[in-house]
Structures are given as structure tokens and as C-alpha cells.
């Protein structure tokens, strides 16, 4: 896939987009948080040609669509340890790490170039609460069990349960962002569908967003 050179966007413009998007979600970000998110968007835009991170043409488009979308998950993330499987460009884990510094985030990414980007972004943004793991989600063996597992754009709900089976440990909450309501995927889970809650999300710029919230404590242990 051939990428055009990213358009140059003023940092203040991106900061305003982030702040406005957060307000539309009922959130208030500090100025340092807005600046850090704008810096992150600029890094994504800079690395996009070599790491194929996003289809967004510049930092403003990335912020408007993807950073705001990640912020919509913020009220649903609770606990101390969060794992983002298949983190890619850092969505949603990197965004949430910037705005919730009291939580520890593990960004798990199997593709080498994307993992290198995540590590560089972690360093440049000074995120002491972020660790990057270059490994497949199925093969990751964390030293501490995550309280929340984020799985965005990694496949069907059935695949998510298989991929995270070794990480459930009886208490983790699994959050799976989706576009349209994944009714067929939920039906395919059988008895495990009872552990799922489907939450509509109102995200600026998106026609349909949903969150599937899976309670690991209620999963059928024999089926995962």
C-alpha cells in the first residue's frame, strides 16, 4: 500500500480537535493531556509511511476519528492493569494510557514495525505507565494478570475469547469495540453470550459504534 506524504497540521489545531471531541463525550482533558495526544497523532502521521499505521491522511484526521473514538472507551476501563492486544498504532491503549496515568498499560503487538513505533512513542511521550511487547496476543505470558483486556479490530468475538483464554484468570473484563451491533457474533458464542453486555456508544464522526463488554468471571471455563 503506497502512502502519500502526510499533510502538515498545526499542533494547536490537533489539540483543539482532541479537546472538542472529549467534551462531546462528556470528558474534560487537561492541557498537558491534549498536547500529549496531539504529539502522539503527529508521531503516528510521521511513522505511517514505514509502519502502515492508519488510513488517516494527517494528524488532524487521525485525532478526529481515532483518538476521539478511543476516548469513548475511557469510562468503561477500570482497575490497575490493562492489556491492549493487537495494539497496532496504539489504539486504544496508547490514548487511554495518556489520559489515565494511574493505570499500567501493556501494548501487545506482533508486527515488528508497529511494535517499534509503539516503543518509540512510549519513549518520546515519556509514558512510564506503558510497556510494549512484540509478541502475538495468544503467546503473551504476563507477569501480572490484567484487570481489563482491550481487543480492537482483532477478529470475531469467538476469536477474541480463544485468543484471550490464557489471560482471563477468572476476573478480567474484556472490552471489544465494534461498529454495527455484532448480533451474529454474539449468537455464535452460545452460553458465553450471557457474559456479554452490548453497549451503544455515541462517538462524534461515527455513524455506529458499539462496545461488547465481556465479564471473564461469567465465562464458561470449559468453552474457552
CB 146 within 8 A of CB 82: yes
**Mean pLDDT in residue range 98-114:** 97
**Does residue 2 lie in a domain region?**
no
**Mean pLDDT in residue range 87-95:** 98
**CATH code at 161?**
3.40.50.150
Residue 125 has pLDDT above 70, yes or no: yes
**Does residue 52 lie in a domain region?**
yes
**Mean pLDDT in residue range 182-192:** 96
Into how many domains does the chain fold?
1
Beta strands in the chain (DSSP E): 81-85, 104-108, 130-133, 148-151, 173-178, 196-201, 209-215
**Does residue 223 lie in a domain region?**
no
Query: Which residue segment(s) compose the domain that 123 sits in?
Result: 11-218
**Does residue 109 lie in a domain region?**
yes
Q: Per-residue pLDDT tens for 140-186?
A: 999 888 999 999 989 999 999 999 988 866 689 999 999 999 999 99
**Mean pLDDT in residue range 32-54:** 96
Q: Per-residue pLDDT tens for 201-211?
A: 999 999 999 99
**Does residue 1 lie in a domain region?**
no
**Mean pLDDT in residue range 80-98:** 97
**Does residue 3 lie in a domain region?**
no
**Does residue 76 lie in a domain region?**
yes
pLDDT-based confidence at residue 222 (cuts at 50, 70, 90) = low
Q: pLDDT value at position 1?
A: 42
CB 157 within 8 A of CB 185: yes
Residue 6 has pLDDT above 80, yes or no: no
Q: Give the Cα separation of 145 and 53 in Å (integer).
A: 28
Distances in Å between the alpha carbon of 10 and those of 7, 70, 178? 10, 22, 31
**Does residue 6 lie in a domain region?**
no
Amino acid at each position: 500500500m503506497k502512502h502519500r506524504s502526510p499533510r502538515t497540521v498545526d499542533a494547536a489545531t490537533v489539540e483543539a480537535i482532541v479537546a472538542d471531541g472529549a467534551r462531546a463525550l462528556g470528558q474534560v482533558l487537561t492541557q498537558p493531556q491534549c498536547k500529549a495526544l496531539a504529539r502522539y497523532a503527529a508521531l503516528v502521521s510521521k511513522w505511517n509511511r514505514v509502519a502502515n499505521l492508519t488510513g488517516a491522511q494527517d494528524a488532524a484526521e487521525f485525532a478526529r476519528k481515532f483518538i476521539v473514538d478511543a476516548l469513548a472507551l475511557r469510562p468503561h476501563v477500570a482497575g490497575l492493569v490493562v492489556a491492549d492486544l493487537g495494539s497496532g498504532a496504539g489504539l486504544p491503549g496508547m490514548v487511554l494510557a495518556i489520559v489515565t496515568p494511574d493505570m499500567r498499560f501493556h501494548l501487545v503487538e506482533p508486527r515488528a514495525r508497529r511494535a517499534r513505533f509503539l516503543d518509540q512513542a512510549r519513549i518520546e511521550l515519556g509514558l512510564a505507565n506503558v510497556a510494549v511487547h512484540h509478541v502475538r496476543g495468544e503467546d503473551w505470558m504476563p507477569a501480572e494478570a490484567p484487570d481489563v483486556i482491550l481487543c480492537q479490530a482483532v477478529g470475531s468475538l469467538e476469536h477474541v475469547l480463544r485468543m484471550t483464554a490464557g489471560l482471563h484468570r477468572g476476573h478480567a473484563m474484556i472490552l471489544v469495540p465494534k461498529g454495527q451491533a455484532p448480533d451474529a457474533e454474539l449468537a455464535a458464542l452460545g452460553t458465553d453470550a450471557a457474559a456479554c453486555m452490548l453497549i451503544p456508544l455515541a462517538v462524534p464522526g461515527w455513524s455506529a459504534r458499539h462496545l461488547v463488554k465481556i465479564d471473564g468471571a461469567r465465562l464458561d471455563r470449559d468453552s474457552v
